[in-house]
């Protein structure tokens, strides 16, 4: 006999990349070297200043609970970041510290939407959006995108989506690295405002930008919710700290939820995150390396048949159309890993309808690893 399992739990898909990671670990255990182009995180630790602040906090602080909305000093520092980086005044009261951006999504979704409502999002896109929506009895509505619209939602696509309560935008996007322009984001925000649709802007890859300016939703909207994190630019994935910027009327509802769900965000991580803002040189150095890696792959991959690459403006991913090479990206990635030791992520994680013909290549590793990956793939395709 087994106990009851909810329907909503059954609605959540597994993360296929985890299977790739398991196969890669097996290969490594057998003594082979694997080039990890499947990972979605920086290969570097937290910046030195953040580590020093964490050490100091361990010595000086009790590391107890703190306020559910975050340490006041960190909220104020994040607010200042909006003035420095975007030229927009954001009050510290609107900033809510969360357990990674992942902890921000349920708070944003639960305070914006009622069960059964429909939320639009780009396909391909980060799979957790749809899975968290499903777990909350919300319906994800795919907006199929293409290279022509830089894999971003458009007003025209929204017009065809039917009634929706929300829109998720991610720029730069995972898995494509492509961005929306400021006028496009403003048009999406205006469309949402006219219809009482809540826009949620995932800005987790801001700071990792190669071409153009990553526009924050706070520049173009008073009603959008911004989601961000210390995981990517700040290189602090395992510290589990992120933030939201929300309209004033959502602060108290989110506070009530956060108090009950989480009590507070890890205190040690908040000390470290505060210091990370003063580590720009080290962090910008990582972005330089990502840029070198991106350029190296963009130049090297076409020679191995991977010549249909999304134009990555930011983040550390290349999204490759491989439909001319396979109609089963999962099998293609499995074979590539087995025969070359280069691990990549099949597109089905990001686009259930069309991902059998795509894969994602992460260039968050070292430049030497990118060179080795291109060398191995050239030998494979010969």
Q: Point out which residues bind ligand PLP (CB under 6 A).
A: 40, 100-102, 126, 170, 174, 202, 204, 229, 231, 237, 242
List, in order, residues 6 or more apart from 194 with CB less than 8 Å away.
none
| Smallest separation, CB 316 to ligand PLP (Å) | 10
Q: Cβ closer to ligand PLP: 49 or 175? A: 175
Q: Cβ closer to ligand PLP: 152 or 229? A: 229
Looking at the DSSP bridge assignments, the partners of residue 342 are: 35
Check if the beta carbon of residue 75 is closer than 8 Å to that of residue 241: no
Give the SS3 label for residue 224: coil
Cα-Cα-Cα-Cα torsion 31, 23, 236, 198, nearest 10 degrees, comes to 170
d(CA 331, CA 350): 16
| Smallest separation, CB 182 to ligand PLP (Å) | 20
Q: Cβ closer to ligand PLP: 100 or 357? A: 100
| Smallest separation, CB 180 to ligand PLP (Å) | 14
Expressed in angstroms, the distance from the first to the final Cα of the chain is: 55
Smallest CA-to-CA distance from 344 within 366, 361, 323 is with 361
| Smallest separation, CB 170 to ligand PLP (Å) | 5
Check if the beta carbon of residue 296 is closer than 8 Å to that of residue 288: no
d(CA 181, CA 331): 35
| Smallest separation, CB 229 to ligand PLP (Å) | 3
Q: Cβ closer to ligand PLP: 238 or 285? A: 238
Q: Cβ closer to ligand PLP: 145 or 326? A: 145
d(CA 228, CA 245): 8
Packing angle, helices 267-276 and 72-86, rounded to 10:
30
**CB-nearest residue to ligand PLP:** 100
Q: Cβ closer to ligand PLP: 233 or 332? A: 233
| Smallest separation, CB 118 to ligand PLP (Å) | 20
Largest CA distance in the chain: 60
| Smallest separation, CB 62 to ligand PLP (Å) | 26
Q: Cβ closer to ligand PLP: 74 or 377? A: 74
């Amino acid at each position: 006999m087994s106990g009851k399992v909810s329907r909503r739990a059954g609605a959540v898909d597994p993360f296929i990349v985890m299977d790739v990671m398991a196969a890669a670990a097996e290969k490594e255990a057998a003594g082979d070297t694997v080039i990890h182009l499947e990972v979605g995180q920086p290969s570097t630790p937290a910046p030195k200043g953040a580590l020093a602040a964490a050490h100091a906090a361990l010595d000086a602080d009790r590391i107890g609970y703190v306020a559910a909305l975050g340490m006041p000093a960190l909220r104020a520092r994040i607010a200042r970041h909006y003035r420095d980086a975007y030229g927009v005044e954001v009050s510290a009261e609107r900033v809510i510290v969360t357990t990674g951006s992942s902890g921000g999504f349920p708070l944003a979704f639960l305070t914006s939407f009622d069960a059964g409502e429909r939320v639009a999002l780009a396909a391909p896109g980060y799979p957790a959006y749809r899975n968290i929506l499903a777990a909350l009895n919300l319906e994800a509505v795919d907006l199929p995108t293409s290279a022509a619209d830089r894999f971003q939602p458009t007003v025209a696509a929204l017009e065809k989506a039917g009634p929706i309560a929300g829109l998720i935008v991610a720029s730069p996007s995972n898995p494509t690295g492509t961005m929306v322009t400021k006028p496009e984001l403003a048009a999406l925000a205006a469309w949402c405002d006219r219809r009482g649709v809540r826009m949620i802007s995932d800005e987790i890859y801001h700071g990792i930008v190669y071409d153009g300016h990553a526009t924050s939703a706070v520049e173009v909207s008073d009603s959008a919710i911004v989601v961000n994190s210390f995981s990517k630019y700040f290189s602090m994935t395992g510290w589990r700290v992120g933030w939201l910027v929300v309209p004033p009327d959502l602060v108290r509802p989110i506070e009530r939820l956060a108090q009950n769900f989480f009590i507070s965000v890890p205190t040690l991580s908040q000390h470290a995150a505060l210091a990370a803002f003063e580590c720009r040189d080290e962090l910008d150095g990582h972005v330089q390396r990502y840029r070198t890696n991106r350029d190296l792959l963009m130049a090297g991959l076409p020679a191995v048949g991977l010549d249909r690459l999304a134009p990555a403006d930011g983040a550390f991913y290349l999204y490759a159309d491989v439909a001319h090479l396979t109609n089963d990206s999962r099998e293609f990635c499995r074979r590539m890993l087995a025969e070359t030791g280069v691990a990549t992520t099949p597109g089905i994680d990001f686009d259930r309808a069309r991902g059998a013909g795509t894969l994602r290549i992460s260039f968050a590793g070292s430049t030497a690893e990118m060179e080795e990956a291109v060398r191995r793939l050239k030998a494979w395709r010969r």
